[in-house]
Structure 1
Amino acid sequence: MKLAGSAVLGIDRDRVWSALQNPAVLVRTIPGCERLEETGPDTYRMTVTAGVASIKGVYQGEVALSEPEAPERFVLRARGQGAPGTVDATVEIRLSEVEGGTRIDYDAEAVIGGMIGGVGQRMLGVGREEDGGGVLLRRGEPPRRRGDSRSGLRPGLRPGLRSDPRARLLRARLRPCLR
């Protein structure tokens, strides 16, 4: 399964970079992540609760940050396994300076195996569309609706900020960490 998205934050790139290297911030941006424990430099043990349809469970695994090019990009790799199956994900995160802040772009690819993978890619695709992409949505959060489809912007959003629910959620999660 592949996912991509972006968000614009009204915060300078160096501060966003520092925040995304902090496990207390990362735990807020990984879907369903309940805990990150440092096990070494840029390596963490994680506990994630996730699922598709009625198949839900707790996954134990690891997260590693690699290929850093401060403050422009890095790669986050996550692997986990639990009773419902396995998850192996790679996310490339890119930061670029834009007028008034930082644009975060991400491209993710996840391979899901076991019982949860058996639900089928079609089911996962439907869930992905319903929750606005899923990459930045934590369990228990309701699906989000897109804004005006003609402009791609919700009424009241200033130009340059996408109405994509993933972007809104990413901004909401990172802002408190950057104050």
Structure 2
Amino acid sequence: MTTGPSSSKKELSLEQHEELLTLLKARFEKNMDRHSDLEWANVQAKLEANPDKLWSLHEMEKTEGEPDVVGYDAQLGEYIFYDCSKESPKGRRSICYDLEALESRKQHKPENNAIDMAAAMGIELLTEEQYRELQKLGNFDLKTSSWVQTPANIRKLGGAIFCDRRYDMVFVYHNGAESYYAARGFRGSLRV
């Protein structure tokens, strides 16, 4: 019998499961302005029915993303979670944009990249539009910045985009995709 990625399940222990639900409920209730028309019981029922999504939320929490519900897609029947930490999640900083960028670095390579980290966590990087939606819910990334999904035409030319909030405005910038900084990470989204 081989042991590889296909044989390792992404499951939480009962203790982790209970702790995470308690934490998510407390955050949900503390930040009702993010989802005033939603009820926790419905969110919890959806999470209980999707343990793989709960595992992804655990990964978001473990890297200090502080995931919270920011909306509901009635058409698809899905709750939308974003990383709502005040600054770009600490456990996801000092990374370049994607694997191609990481492999292009000759020296001083970062440990990881945003695209692969997000995929391993079962989440997606926020788009620029989603990042702007998040900023309507509060003031985020006042000292840090976050990679966002980069359009293919920009990435093809070697660039990637990131966002932050300065001077009470949301800014979108560009950088070489291989760049990385201690204050730049990424924020994710998850649909449940």
* The structure with more helix, counted as a fraction of residues: 2
* The structure with more strand, counted as a fraction of residues: 1
TM-score by length of 2: 0.27
